[in-house]
Amino acid sequence: MLTPITNEWKGLAVPGNLEAVQGFVEECLDAGGASMKTQMQMSVAVEEVFINIAHYAYAPGTGEAVVTVTLSGSPAAAAITFRDKGVPYDPLANSDPDVTLSADEREIGGLGIFMTKKLVDEMSYEYRDGENVLTLRKLL
Amino acid sequence: MTIGKTENGSALTLALEGRLDTSTAPELEKTLKESLPGVSELTLDFAGLEYISSAGLRVLLSAQKTMNRQGGMKLVRVREIIMEIFEVTGFSEILTVE
């Protein structure tokens, strides 16, 4: 694949649309030849990011999110970008939870973004033209 | 997701099938809340579990905390793809996986 291929999903950032977004991303990754393992890991990452946007970006209202998947070659990689016009929020600014603590010491929650970071090869955030732009990159 | 329930005295086995995610985690949470009183041995059979996200992990952590107080909890027949998620998040240290 020499020319990158980009596909886009646009819709309301609500939890009820998670399956549609995951389905869209899976189809794109499948077309790019991603393994089942990669697809599952990216599905988890997509859930964490999309649900975060759905819960917080436009709270207490709702708004739109745009998800694009770009497949490129040599090395084969996927970039998944989430854009919303909600409150500026940099998920990378949070400190990581202490994953060495025992069950009783661990807080319930705070894991989503940490998991996402671990599951992808690169995660970046910027606030650009009034939009939160979060990009996940994964080698295929 | 479907949850199969087998009770044997104070031992309870829950067999999960499908996806444990944002939309299905509340079901497991509800089942646990209703079933855990009086249980000293909880087994979660993950043979049919294909997917887990942080919403699912939260429910597992909460169940582990409850079972630390009233007995024990273990996970059996966990697929490799799920095991990798446990490892990434440090959950493999917290949970007993057989």
Task: List pLDDT tens digits, range A111-129.
Answer: 788 888 889 999 999 999 9
User: Residues B47-54: what's their mean pLDDT?
Assistant: 93
Name the pLDDT band for A97 (thresholds 50, 70, 90): confident
- DSSP designation for B42: E
Q: Which domains does chain A have, with CATH numbers?
A: 5-139 (3.30.565.10)
Q: Do A115 and B84 touch (CB under 8 A)?
A: no
Contacts of A48 in chain B (CB under 8 A): 53-54
A20/A13 Cα distance (integer angstroms): 11
* Least Cα separation, residue A113 to chain B (angstroms): 9
8 Å CB contact between B18 and B56:
no
Q: Is the pLDDT of residue A75 over 80?
A: yes
Query: For residue A70, what pLDDT is reported?
Result: 97
Q: Give me chain A's average pLDDT, please.
A: 90
Query: For residue A81, what pLDDT is reported?
Result: 98
Query: For residue A72, what pLDDT is reported?
Result: 93
User: Residues B54-74: what's their mean pLDDT?
Assistant: 93
Q: Do B21 and A47 touch (CB under 8 A)?
A: yes
Q: Which domains does chain B have, with CATH numbers?
A: 2-94 (3.30.750.24)
- Tokens encoding B18: 């499908």
Of A37, A103, A118, the CB nearest to B61: A103
Q: Do B53 and A48 touch (CB under 8 A)?
A: yes
Amino acid at A24: F
Of A47, A104, A114, the CB nearest to B65: A104
Q: Does B88 touch chain A (CB under 8 A)?
A: yes
Q: Is the pLDDT of residue A108 over 70?
A: no
Please provide the DSSP assignment of A61-111 as one string: S--EEEEEEEEETTTTEEEEEEEE-SS---GGGSPPP-TTS-TTTSPSS--
Backbone angles phi, psi at A116, to 5 degrees: -60, -45
User: Residues B24-50: what's their mean pLDDT?
Assistant: 97
Note the Cα B8 to chain centre separation in Å.
17
Q: Is the pLDDT of residue B1 over 90?
A: yes
Query: For residue A110, what pLDDT is reported?
Result: 66
Q: Tell me the C-alpha to C-alpha distance, in Å, between residue B10 and each of B6, B59, B67, B77.
A: 11, 21, 12, 21
